[in-house]
Amino acid sequence: MKPILIDYADVLHAARTVDLDLAPEHVPGVTSYFQLIAGMAALVNEYPLADSDEHAAVFTPCSPPTPR
The whole-number pLDDT of residue 1 equals 46
The whole-number pLDDT of residue 2 equals 52
The whole-number pLDDT of residue 67 equals 84
> Domain ranges in the chain?
3-36
Between CA 29 and CA 53, with CA 39 as vertex, the angle to 5 degrees is 145
The whole-number pLDDT of residue 64 equals 82
Helix, strand or coil, per DSSP, at residue 67: coil
- Report which DSSP code applies to 65: P
- Cα–Cα dist 4/42, whole Å: 12
Q: Which residues of the chain have pLDDT under 70?
A: 1-4
User: CA–CA distance from 26 to each of 22, 43, 46, 63 (Å)?
Assistant: 6, 26, 30, 28
